A and B are shown apart, each in its own frame.
Chain A
Amino acid sequence: MPVFHVVVCGGLVPDPLQTLEPVQGPAGWGLKNESMLPAILDPWAASALFEADSLARANPGSRVWLVSAAPKAKLQQVLMALAQKAAFELVAVDAQAGGFSDAAECASALAAAVNSIAGLDRSRLLLFGGWESASRGAGATLAILGEMLGISEQFQGVDQASPKPDGSLEILERVEGGRHQVSLLSAPPALLGWATGSLPEPPNNPQVGMLNMRSAMPALQKAAPSRLTGGGLALSSVELPSQRRDTRVVKDMPEDQVAREIVEWIAEK
């Protein structure tokens, strides 16, 4: 049975139900009231974490670390729910990272954190993260981080990673038309930028949560502060993607009819 050391990198984003309004402040661009809004782990990274947890449980002896660059007080709140969903060891970087941070600068802070993990075996390392981010969608941080850590085997848009008994992994990456490209990774280290994966969000497990928090609270307390200055990044303009909502409340409509209407609506666009 192969043993993996999975490092999942993920930042925080505002709860998606909140109104996200870009505003420019003295420190550059940000979202209105961002620090006051409830936050969650970036959903793409959350998929990666749930896949990592599943992989580790299926391969005894494997370990999972969650490396997160975020304001640590905010991270603590997020952990109250997240820590109940998957078993991991937390490596916290206390930083104001967000959707407008410079990807290379953020990757550099994460690389330092990954390098500081005691007991991490590079020959077993799978570096997980989201292939995109719900914060701004540049999706560059993870790839840069992989390069900084010298991981040349990189897969993006991953929906499945199936380990073989010999330690190799079959990896499915999204390609056009709802298809997947199948690759065979002979051995770690590798970087996997996850799409949605195939696992549902696990239910809360308070026992796992209690266990996680015993190590997470000290990790939060000793989180190294990292000042992200922007790295010379300049954003000339920021705007929300245009959206259009055609809402209709319909009850008791057969599924076939619903599907037919959606097809017709798409055809009109």
Chain B
Amino acid sequence: MSQPSTATPSLPLLQTLPGDEIRQILWGFQDRFELQMLVQSARSVARGPVARLVAQGGRASHDWNKDKDALLKAFDESGVTAAFLDPAHGGLFEGPKHLALGLIAFELASVDGGAATASQAGNLGLAPIHEVGTPQQVERYMSLASPPKPGEARRPLRAAFALTEPLPFVGVETGLLCGKVRVAEWKEGGEPLLEIDKRGRFITNMDYAGIVTAAVDTDDRRVKSSCMVILEEGDPGLFDRGAATRKLVHQLSSTRDPNFRLKIPASRIVGGYTVKDGVIVPNYSHAEVIEAVFKRTRVTVGLMTSAKLLSAVEPVIRYQRQRFRGGATVQPGTPRHDLGIQMKEDALHRLVDVWAMGEAGASLGFATARLYDELDPLEKEKNRELARRGVQGARARMKEMAGVEARAAELVRAGKSAAPGGDPLLRFAALDSVANVVCPATKLWNTGQGANAMREAVSLMGGYGITEDCPGFLGHKWMDAQLEATYEGPEAVQRRQLSLTMAQPLFLEQFRQWIRDLKSLAARRPETGACGLGTAMQLWLWTLGHLQDSTDADGTRLFGPNRQGVTFPLADALCWLLASRQQILDLADLEARGAANPALAETLPSTLAFLTDLAQVQAARACGEAGRLCAELVLGYQRHPVWDAEACQACFSQAELDGLEPYAPGLDSVAYGYSDVLDRDGKPPSKRGPCPSTAGLPAFLRLRSRLDACLTGCRLAKDRAARALARVMIPEALDYPQ
């Protein structure tokens, strides 16, 4: 009988930490030098002024001060502020900016999350105007937001985004607003004057914002709906910046609880309005605006947490190696001196886990950012096409797009391109259905699971990890990650969105295609873990279908908006799979494109081998998490059988077996293996009840069993990655202060 080869070829060990050339390919900006320069710019700010401020204790105060304010100037000078803007408004380059903003946030958060937030919060404040603002609003506010040109003596206009309010209003539920808009004055033929009453909570940039985009609900029958409005410092009334929020983290960003009672012209309604029958009808409700804004800005938040994980690798390796140096009995050249804690397998394995999580999160986040860069122009094209077809109004657009989505799903199901001939509507529908899943997945998984992994990274530093002196500020980063998991929509909000979007037929058709693609990739690159991951995705898909058609032990439907105990864990499982999948895809891309870069000739083989091992480690973890969650959901809602008469009737009894043993030798032992056996007194075994039957779930069991088998080799990959960590060359010191 022939056996497949199980020998692992000897692979080169990682020699240096992955550099910029590797990252540029992995994260898809190797051909965009403007982004490469932006990365260097953001890095110089992060590792210069930001790191110095953190090292000097700048995080010790809630209050905004001149040292923190100096960071804004550094952002302006380095291009970080202008990166959000188009060249017509003082920006650096044309086109969508999601990847650019993600890269900036990643670099800054590699040192300090608060600084990253400070750099992005102005963009969030301007985003409502950017996404749906009238041409006049865009022209005015975007131009003022650009940093001054040489010779200009002005400060750029900075913006804040005011949605959240003091409890019990906007927080988890963005539909409830205590902020109100009323008509203050409306002269015949003139523009209405609005009265705004809004209290904010946890509003970033509030120490210095010159404008605030605020969400308010209607409190006047002459205003049709909620909307967002632009408030300017200097508007008549109260523009109270409020008290500093006493947050425990992100202290390099300004956060206050402001209070506004202002009168503004109706032209400040974001996106404009129309007047119908004497009623002001905002063109966009506040919910429509924040949906357009958040589905984009959440991606950068997810990337911030992944940056923390990857930034932890170098300080942890250095700490581990130097742990015993200086001890009287630790002589140079000995393993204890050179490797320190890295002599121990556990320390290495845990760091491999942290690194693998960071890679997966970064891959998912940057891929999502690239997806939005592709989606933005398509969305404009889609809108033009719908207008050309005469489709007007939100409901008509939705109906039209439902047909497009169904057509796209059919095409994918038939194994064809979702957008033959580049049809913009079909292409938009296909990408949008994916974006609606991967965006909340990035925000949810990167931050939530990232915070857990960051705790592990801190623990790898021992007691040092939880001090202010910890190299790489790991303790700060761990706590910062918790805020990132919360703001711009806490985890429950992301899970709720996922539970809707992940079940959309067009997404699921593409998901099926992804499984086929992964299996095909696994045939070429089996060591990536792609095959196992494909199986886990099959299991997830099967579980979704099963749950959609099943009820629990009480006969209640399992899959539905009110069964968050079902939908949310299924969403969690999906996130693990999506992150791992993207990590593998990026790896394949690196392999394909890396060879063309002569600068990588020496480093590529060893780096690829290492990143492949990380991908397999992460895929195994994703398979484990998805398998566990799917099993809980499929089996956990069935009631465990008990020892009733019927159950006992179905069991062998020992007396029966004794009687049959002469006729069927060995039956006794076989019976114990396959079922429960009553003892000679007719009593059932001492346990909860008969083992539950899984007879109705052969497909599930087959997939579960196959999934377990797919883990074969994953620990060998972890061992190889661990060996590489003990050998990899790292810089002599961290390149920023501590």
Contacts and interface: CB of A to CB of B under 8 A. Distances in A.
A217 B602 CA distance: 23
B603 interface: yes
B731 A17 contact: yes
Interface string B717-738: 0000000000001111101000
Contacts of B39: 80
Nearest to B91: A206
Interface stretch (A34-42, A121-129, A137-145): A34-42
Contacts of A203: 44, 74, 77-78
Contacts of A74: 599
Nearest to B48: A203
B20 interface: yes
A210 interface: yes
B38 interface: yes
A77 B599 contact: yes
A223 to B, nearest CB: 12
Contact of B15 (A17, A33, A71): A33
B37 A210 contact: yes
Given A80-B33, A206-B82, A73 B732 contact: no
A17 B729 CA distance: 12
Contacts of A217: 33
Contacts of A35: 599, 601-603
A204 B44 contact: yes
Contacts of A32: 729
A206 B599 contact: no
Contact of A19 (B36, B44, B82, B729): B729
B95 to A, nearest CB: 14
A18 B731 contact: yes
A71 B598 contact: yes
A209 interface: yes
Interface string A188-220: 000000000000000111110110010001000
Interface in B459-474: none
A205 to B, nearest CB: 7
A38 B19 contact: yes
Interface string B569-612: 00000000000000000000000000001111111000000000
B79 interface: yes
A73 B77 CA distance: 28
Given A71-B599, A77-B21, A33 B37 contact: no
B703 interface: no
B381 interface: no
Contact of A18 (B74, B599, B732): B732
Contacts of B731: 15, 17-19
A206 B37 contact: yes
A68 interface: no
B564 interface: no
B79 A204 contact: yes
B100 to A, nearest CB: 11
B34 interface: yes
A83 interface: yes
B136 interface: no
A149 interface: no
B198 to A, nearest CB: 36
Interface string A11-41: 0000101110000000000001101111000
B245 interface: no
B27 to A, nearest CB: 14
Task: Say which size band chain B's interface belongs to.
Answer: 20 to 34
Nearest to B604: A36
B16 interface: yes
Interface string A70-112: 0101101100110110000000000000000000000000000
B605 to A, nearest CB: 11
Contact of B37 (A17, A36, A73, A80): A80
A204 B729 contact: no
Interface in B82-126: 82, 92-93
Given A19-B731, A84-B40, A33 B16 contact: yes
A17 B736 CA distance: 11
B504 interface: no
Given A18-B732, A32-B729, A37 B16 contact: yes
A219 to B, nearest CB: 13
A84 B598 contact: no
A105 to B, nearest CB: 21
A204 to B, nearest CB: 4
A36 B601 CA distance: 9
Interface in B365-399: none
B218 interface: no
Given A18-B731, A38-B19, A209 B602 contact: no
Contacts of A205: 77, 79
A72 B74 CA distance: 30
Contact of B599 (A73, A204, A209): A73
A213 B735 CA distance: 26
Contacts of A80: 20, 33, 36-37, 39-40
B90 to A, nearest CB: 10
Contacts of B601: 35
Which one of B16, B37, B79 has the highest number of Cβ atoms from chain A below 10 Å of its Cβ?
Answer: B37
Contacts of A17: 731-733, 735
A33 B44 CA distance: 24
B357 to A, nearest CB: 24
A74 to B, nearest CB: 5
A227 B16 CA distance: 27
B267 interface: no
A81 B79 CA distance: 12
A207 B79 CA distance: 8
A19 B40 contact: no
Contacts of B36: 77, 80
A62 B295 CA distance: 49
Given A71-B598, A206-B79, A36 B44 contact: no
Interface in A208-258: 209-210, 213, 217
Contacts of B40: 80-81, 84, 204
A36 B597 CA distance: 12
Contacts of B93: 210
Most buried by B among A32, A36, A73: A36
Nearest to B36: A80
Contacts of A19: 729-732
A81 B44 contact: yes
B41 interface: yes
A213 B33 contact: yes
21 contacts: A15-B731, A17-B732, A17-B733, A33-B729, A38-B19, A38-B20, A73-B597, A73-B600, A74-B599, A80-B20, A80-B36, A81-B41, A84-B40, A204-B44, A205-B79, A206-B37, A206-B41, A206-B78, A207-B79, A210-B34, A213-B37
Interface of A: 15, 17-19, 32-33, 35-38, 71, 73-74, 76-77, 80-81, 83-84, 203-207, 209-210, 213, 217
Interface of B: 15-16, 19-21, 33-34, 36-41, 44, 74, 77-79, 82, 92-93, 597-603, 729-733, 735
Ranked 4 nearest A-B pairs via Cβ: A206-B79, A73-B599, A81-B40, A17-B731
Given A19-B732, A205-B79, 19 more contacts: A17-B732, A19-B730, A33-B15, A33-B603, A36-B602, A36-B603, A37-B19, A71-B598, A76-B33, A84-B37, A203-B44, A204-B37, A204-B40, A206-B37, A206-B38, A206-B79, A209-B79, A210-B93, A213-B34
